[in-house]
Amino acid sequence: MKTITTELKPSLRKALLALAGAALLAGGAARAQTVASNVAVPFYTAGDFMRGAYRFWYAPQAAAFAEQAGGLPAAVSAVCDAPTDAAAPPLEQARERWKATALAWDRLSGVQVGPLVQRRSTRQIDFTPTRPELIKRAIQTAPQDATAMESIGTPAKGLPALEWLLWTQPIAPATPACRYAVQVAADVQREADALAKAFNELAARPPGEAEQTQGPAMSELINQWAGALERLRWAEMEKPRLAGSAQGGRNAVAYARSASGQTAARWAAQWQALRTLGASQAAEAPRPGTGLAPIETYLRGLGRNEPADLLAQSVGKADKALQNVSPANRAGITAAGRSLADLKKLTEAEIAPALEVSIGFSDADGD
């Protein structure tokens, strides 16, 4: 099977993956370090803020996603090519690759901006809820390549569909379902490569280039950050919990990633994106162009220490509430949801006005 590789120089890919790894290590500490109010912070333009986000978060995370997705078709193919009497290892290896790919996606898509929005990548990669009947129908059409996959509706593709094929109805060697799973994996890989290329191009823009577009881009990031808080609180946590309660606790598969057992890991990855982009993870503010300046640091660079302090405190409170939260811990979900709601309210009431940004309704908001 022909694989599609991200059009990045090996040295650049290595550097971006190193940055993604550094972000993971920083996230492992799970505690934001606030830049002290009496420490000098550089002034950041909207362009500085966005270049930092692109170079030191989005491009590295997109490269990491493409790296993991790049091995997904081969891992699934190994299941299809295994002897019919083979033991489980090929399937287990495909599942592990899926888990790594899904977590990389959840970090990248935790706060969706730029190419993620323009390409409607979430609909292509992470359409939920899973539609088993549409997946079964797609299997019968037996698509053989990328062109044929374009005629398959998004509800039958992406990571949730592949999760269903690996866990709920596990694929077996030499079956139509297995061959279809390979095409689904290749489809995810193609979108991952496109995202890596698009974010790499944004990260490579020199200072001053398209500077007039960075104000709207900054506004989009702030809006999407607020929307992602609500999505994590409502769509990911509280809505499924309430649905389960309404059914007397019998709904065991309402949460995303339930089949693979990766729900809690998904929440943690999404929160990592929110925390990293929201509050400082370092004791010093980076010079423009040398590191990620999160929203808190951006505020300090504008001399807005009071809202920056409130933001750091609120992110820290939410961070504590989100530690080790899982679908089994309903009280923990409630506490985490309350902290996320408080953080969103603060963003709308204090943070956005301090940045002269208007918060609008997005599809991340609850209904």
In the predicted structure, residue 249 carries a pLDDT above the cut 90:
no
The stretch 343-363 carries a mean pLDDT of 91
197 or 17: which leads in pLDDT: 197
Q: Domain ranges for the chain, please list them.
A: 57-203
**Least confident segment among 103-107, 181-185, 253-257, 291-295:** 253-257
CATH architecture entry for 57-203: Up-down Bundle (1.20)
pLDDT tens-digit profile of 209-247?
Answer: 667 778 999 999 999 999 999 999 999 999 998 887 656
Question: pLDDT value at position 245?
Answer: 66
| Band of pLDDT at residue 83, cut at 50, 70 and 90 | confident
What is the 3-state secondary structure of the chain?
A: CCCCCCCCCHHHHHHHHHHHHHHHHHHHHCCCECCCCCCCCCCCCHHHHHHHHHHHHHHHHHHHHHHHHHCHHHHHHHHHHCCCCCCCHHHHHHHHHHHHHHHHHHHHCCCCCCHHHHCCHHHHHCCCCCCHHHHHHHHHHCCCCHHHHCCCCHHHCHHHHHHHHHHHCCCCCCCHHHHHHHHHHHHHHHHHHHHHHHHHHHHCCCCCCCHHHHHHHHHHHHHHHHHHHHHHHHHHHHHHHHHHHHCCCCCCCCCCCCCCCCHHHHHHHHHHHHHHHHCCECCCCCCCCCCCCCHHHHHHHCCCHHHHHHHHHHHHHHHHHHCCCCCCCHHHHHHHHHHHHHHHHHHHHHHHHHCCCCCCCCCCCCC
